[in-house]
Structure 1
Amino acid sequence: MKARFFMVLCACSTACAEPLPLPPVVDTSVYPAGTARPARSPAPSANTLYEIMGRLEQLQAEMQQLTGKVEEQAYQISELKKRQNTMYSDFDERLQVIESKNGTDQPVAGAPQEQVQPAETEAKEIKKQVTVPVPVAVPAPAPANKQAAPPAEPEAAQATESEKQAYQQAYDALRNGHTNQSITEFNALLVKYPAGQYANNAQYWLGEAYRVNQNIDSARSAFTKVVENYPGSAKVPDALLKLGYIEYDLKNWARAKEYLTRVTVEFPGSSAAHLASRKLLLIDDLKP
C-alpha cells in the first residue's frame, strides 16, 4: 500500500514541475571561427536625430552660399573679359584707321606707341630751345633786361623733364596692367603739375585706368575733365568717344548718341569720329 502511494506521489510531482527553458539556438555559420557575434547598437534617440538633421540643413545652406559666390565670381570674370576685349578691339580699330590713312601725322590717343613719341618730340624741342647759346653783349640797360630771362629757363626745362618721367612711369604701369599703380601715379602727377605739358594726357589715361577697373563713375568724371579743363587738347575727341562708350555700355542710348554725335560733328575726319560713326550705327540698329 505504501509503495503504491509513493509511486502516485512521484507521478504527481513530475506532472506539476515546470519545464526548464531551452538555450537559444545560435547560427554560427555566418561568423568566422574564433570571432564573437557583434553586439547590437542601441537605436539613436530623438535628440540625436534632430541634431543630425540640423547639421545637414546647415551644410546644405553653406553649399548654396558657396555656389552663389562661385557664380558671382564667374560673372565678374566674364564682365572683366568683356571690358578687356572691348578695350583691345578699340586699339585694333584705331590701328586699322591709322593704316588706312597711309601714314598721316594725326595723333591717335588709342595707340600706346603713338602717344609716347609726341611727348618725346615736344620734350626735345623744349630742350633745344633752352640750350640755344645766348650771345654775350656789351653791358647795357636794354640788352641786360632782354637777357635776364634765360637763366630761369633751365629750371623750367628740368621741371618738364621731371614731369615727363612721372608721366612715362604712370603710362608704363597702365600698359603693363598695373592699373591701381597707374591711377595713383596719374593722380599724383595731376596734383603736382595741374597745368603741365602732360596734364591733359594724364587726365585721359587716368580715365582709361578707371574704365579698366570698372570704376565707371570715376572714369566718366576723368573723361569729362578732359573735355572741360583742356578744350584745346587733342584728347578731347577721344574723351568724348569714351564717354559715349560708357553710356552705350550702360544702355543709355540717348546720352551715348549725344556724345558720339559731338565727335562726328566737332571732329570730322578724325579716328575718333570714324569709331563714333560705327557705334552710332549699332545704336540705330538697337532702337525699335
Structure 2
Amino acid sequence: MLVVCLLLGGIGTAQAGFFSDDEARKKIADLQQQLSQLQGKLDEELKQRQAVDGRVSTLENQLKSQGMIDLLNQIDRINGELGKLKGQIEVMSHDVEVTQKRQRDLYADLDGRLRKLESGPSAPASPVSASPASEAPAQPAAPATPTVAPTAPAADAAAELKEYESAHALFKTGKFAQSAEAFDKFLTAYPDSRFAPNAQYWMGYAHFSQKNYKAAIADQQKLLQRYPDHQKAPDAMYNIANSQIQLADIDGARQTLRNLLTKYPLSDTAPLAKKRLTAIESLKSKN
C-alpha cells in the first residue's frame, strides 16, 4: 500500500509538473506572438516614418528647386527690363541728337530767312549793323560841349581820347578780342568819360562778333541801365535781340524787339527792329 501510494504520488507530481511546463510554453508562445505583433507594428511605423521623411525631403528639394527657379525667373525678368531700358535709352539718345540737329538747322535757317526778309537797299547785312558803321569815335558829343570836367588837364583828355580811338581802331580791323579788352580797360580808367556809353556798346558788339553772346547781352544791358537815353541805347537793345536769337531764345528776342519799338519808336534802329520782329512772327506762324 505504501509503495502504491508512493507511486501514485509520484505520478501526480509528474502530471502536475507536466501541466506547468505546457502553461509556461503557452505563455512564452503568447509573449512571442505579442512580440512579433509589436515588431510588426514597429516595422510598420518605421516604414511610415521613412515614407514621411522621404516626402519631407522631396518637398524640401522641391521648395529649394522652386526658390532657385523663382530667382532665375526674377533675374531673367530684370535682364529683360534692363534690355528694354537700354533700348529706350538708345532711342531717346537718338531722338535727342535728331532734335538738337533739327534745332540747330532751324535756327540757322531762321537766321538766314531773317536776313533775306530784311534784305533791301536800306538794310545792313550784319545782324547788329544797325549801328552806324562810319561812326566817329567822338560822335556821342560835339567837341564844343564836352562832358569832361573843365578842370581836367588837357593831357588827361588827350590820353582819354587816344585810348578810346585805339580800342575802336582794333575793333575796325577785326581784332575783336583785343578791342573788347581795350574797351574794358578804358571803362575802368575812365568810368565817367563822355565816350563811356560808346565804349560800353562797342565792347558788347566785339563780344557778339566773337560769338560770346551772353557777354554781349550783359555789356549792352549795362549800357541800358546807366545810359537809357543815350543814342546807342536802341542799338544796344537790337544787339541784345540778335544775341538772343543766336542763343535760340526766340521768345526773349521777340520781347526785346517789342520793348525797343515801345521805348524808342522814332530811333533809326526802329525800322530794322520792326522788320526783324515781323520776320520772327511770320516764321512762328509758319512753324
> For this structure pair, what is the TM-score category when the shorter chain's length is used for normalisation?
0.5 to 0.7
Aligned to 1:69: 93
**Amino acid corresponding to residue 126 of structure 1 in structure 2:** A
- Over 3 Å counting, the alpha-carbon distance change for 1:110 and 1:221 in structure 2 is same
**Amino acid corresponding to residue 141 of structure 2 in structure 1:** I
- The CA deviation at 1:169 is 1.3
Aligned to 2:150: 151
| Residues 105-131 of structure 1, C-alpha deviations (whole Å, 9 max, x = no match) | x5737465673524x327347354447
Q: Which has the higher Rg, Structure 1 or Structure 2? A: 2
Match of 1:108 among 105, 111, 124: 124
Q: Secondary structure at the match of 1:194?
A: coil
Aligned to 2:165: none
CA distance in 2 between counterparts of 1:53 and 1:223 reads 56
Tell whether 2:60 aligns with 1:45: no
Cα RMSD, aligned residues only: 3.7
Say which structure is richer in helix. 2
Tell whether 2:230 aligns with 1:196: yes
Q: Secondary structure at the match of 2:266?
A: coil
**Amino acid corresponding to residue 219 of structure 1 in structure 2:** A
CA distance in 2 between counterparts of 1:188 and 1:229 reads 17
Tell whether 2:113 aligns with 1:97: no
CA distance in 1 between counterparts of 2:201 and 2:270 reads 19
CA distance in 1 between counterparts of 2:193 and 2:125 reads 24
| Residues 132-158 of structure 1, C-alpha deviations (whole Å, 9 max, x = no match) | xxxxxxxxxxxxxxxxx9839989996
Aligned to 1:167: 201
- The CA deviation at 1:167 is 0.8
- Over 3 Å counting, the alpha-carbon distance change for 1:72 and 1:115 in structure 2 is same
- Over 3 Å counting, the alpha-carbon distance change for 1:160 and 1:66 in structure 2 is farther
- Over 3 Å counting, the alpha-carbon distance change for 1:238 and 1:112 in structure 2 is closer
- The CA deviation at 1:212 is 1.9
CA distance in 2 between counterparts of 1:234 and 1:86 reads 24
**Amino acid corresponding to residue 78 of structure 1 in structure 2:** R
Aligned to 1:80: 104
Aligned to 2:250: 216
Given that residues 117 and 279 in structure 2 are in contact (C-alpha distance below 8 angstroms), is that contact kept between their aligned partners in structure 1?
no
- The CA deviation at 1:81 is 2.4
Q: Secondary structure at the match of 1:177?
A: coil
- Over 3 Å counting, the alpha-carbon distance change for 1:49 and 1:217 in structure 2 is same
Aligned to 1:282: none
Aligned to 1:206: 240
- The CA deviation at 1:77 is 2.7
- Over 3 Å counting, the alpha-carbon distance change for 1:117 and 1:212 in structure 2 is same
Aligned to 1:234: 268
**Amino acid corresponding to residue 227 of structure 1 in structure 2:** L
Given that residues 182 and 206 in structure 1 are in contact (C-alpha distance below 8 angstroms), is that contact kept between their aligned partners in structure 2?
yes
**Amino acid corresponding to residue 259 of structure 2 in structure 1:** K
| Residues 43-96 of structure 1, C-alpha deviations (whole Å, 9 max, x = no match) | x733123212212212322331342133123213322222123324544676x6
| Residues 139-190 of structure 1, C-alpha deviations (whole Å, 9 max, x = no match) | xxxxxxxxxx983998999634111111111112122211122122221221
- Over 3 Å counting, the alpha-carbon distance change for 1:224 and 1:203 in structure 2 is same
- Over 3 Å counting, the alpha-carbon distance change for 1:223 and 1:125 in structure 2 is closer
CA distance in 2 between counterparts of 1:127 and 1:61 reads 70
CA distance in 2 between counterparts of 1:205 and 1:83 reads 17
CA distance in 1 between counterparts of 2:272 and 2:99 reads 29
Aligned to 1:33: none
CA distance in 2 between counterparts of 1:233 and 1:47 reads 76
- The CA deviation at 1:247 is 1.5
CA distance in 1 between counterparts of 2:210 and 2:149 reads 39
After TM superposition, which residue ranges in structure 1, 4 or more long, deviate above 6 angstroms? 152-157
CA distance in 2 between counterparts of 1:114 and 1:232 reads 14
Tell whether 2:226 aligns with 1:176: no
- Over 3 Å counting, the alpha-carbon distance change for 1:220 and 1:61 in structure 2 is same
TM-score by length of 1: 0.53
Q: Secondary structure at the match of 1:123?
A: coil
Aligned to 1:117: 133
CA distance in 2 between counterparts of 1:109 and 1:123 reads 25
Q: Secondary structure at the match of 2:228?
A: coil
TM-score by length of 2: 0.54
Q: Which runs of 5+ in 2 are unaligned?
A: 1-64, 161-189
